[in-house]
């Protein structure tokens, strides 16, 4: 086993062998992620072991988010904000079946949070939003994300409340 690293998805990464047991996520990685990477509609980062650098342990995808009406946010977050706020969306997060239960989901989530916070220093954004798949909102809540009152599968973590992350240079 080598060192684990998070890198931007590249053509050379073996998307065909990735299996997280969720067909829609597997299919998205195999058929859409690369196209989105090329055209800039989302950015996907993969967790790899440098001993097997083309094998994907897990992935997270991110994009810009359309403005969210402030009245949709949890009440405690609505103060002193304009009518709508922008931010970043964590679109997909998955870990391969053989690597589940090892904390890799947390690693990928922290990567997304770090990248959203870093991006907000260049292009302002209120928060990192997640449109969670049914049944997984509790994963995000463990890390401080707060569900929308009228849509418990949509969650947000205000960037101003995120911890500081160490600076990490992308290779």
Task: Please give the model's pTM, rounded to 2 decimal places.
Answer: 0.92
The pLDDT tens digits for 72-100 are: 999 999 999 999 999 999 999 999 999 99
Low-confidence ranges of the chain (pLDDT < 70): 167-171
Residues sharing a CB contact under 8 Å with residue 7, sequence separation 6 or more, in sequence order: 45, 46, 48, 170, 171
Domain ranges for the chain: 4-161
The whole-number pLDDT of residue 120 equals 93
User: Residue 63: which of 34, 35, 92, 38 has the closest Cα?
Assistant: 92
End-to-end CA distance of the chain: 20
Cα 141 from Cα 151, distance rounded (Å)? 14
Q: Where are the beta strands (DSSP E) in 29-135?
A: 43-49, 58-69, 84-95, 127-131
CATH topology of domain 4-161: Aminopeptidase (3.40.630)
């Amino acid at each position: 086993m080598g060192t684990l690293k998070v890198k931007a998805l590249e053509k050379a990464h073996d998307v065909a062998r990735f299996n997280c047991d969720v067909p829609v996520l597997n299919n998205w990685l195999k058929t859409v992620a690369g196209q989105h990477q090329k055209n800039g509609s989302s950015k996907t980062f993969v967790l790899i072991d440098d001993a097997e650098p083309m094998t994907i342990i897990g992935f997270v995808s991110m994009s810009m988010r359309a403005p969210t009406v402030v009245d949709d946010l949890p009440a405690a977050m609505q103060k002193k904000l304009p009518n709508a706020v922008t931010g970043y969306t964590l679109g997909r997060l998955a870990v391969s079946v053989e690597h589940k239960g090892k904390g890799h989901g947390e690693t990928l989530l922290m990567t997304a949070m770090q990248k959203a916070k870093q991006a907000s220093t260049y292009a302002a954004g209120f928060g990192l939003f997640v449109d969670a798949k049914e049944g997984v909102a509790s994963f995000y809540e463990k890390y401080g994300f707060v569900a929308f009152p009228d849509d418990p599968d949509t969650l947000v973590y205000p960037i101003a409340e995120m911890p500081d992350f160490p600076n990490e240079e992308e290779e």
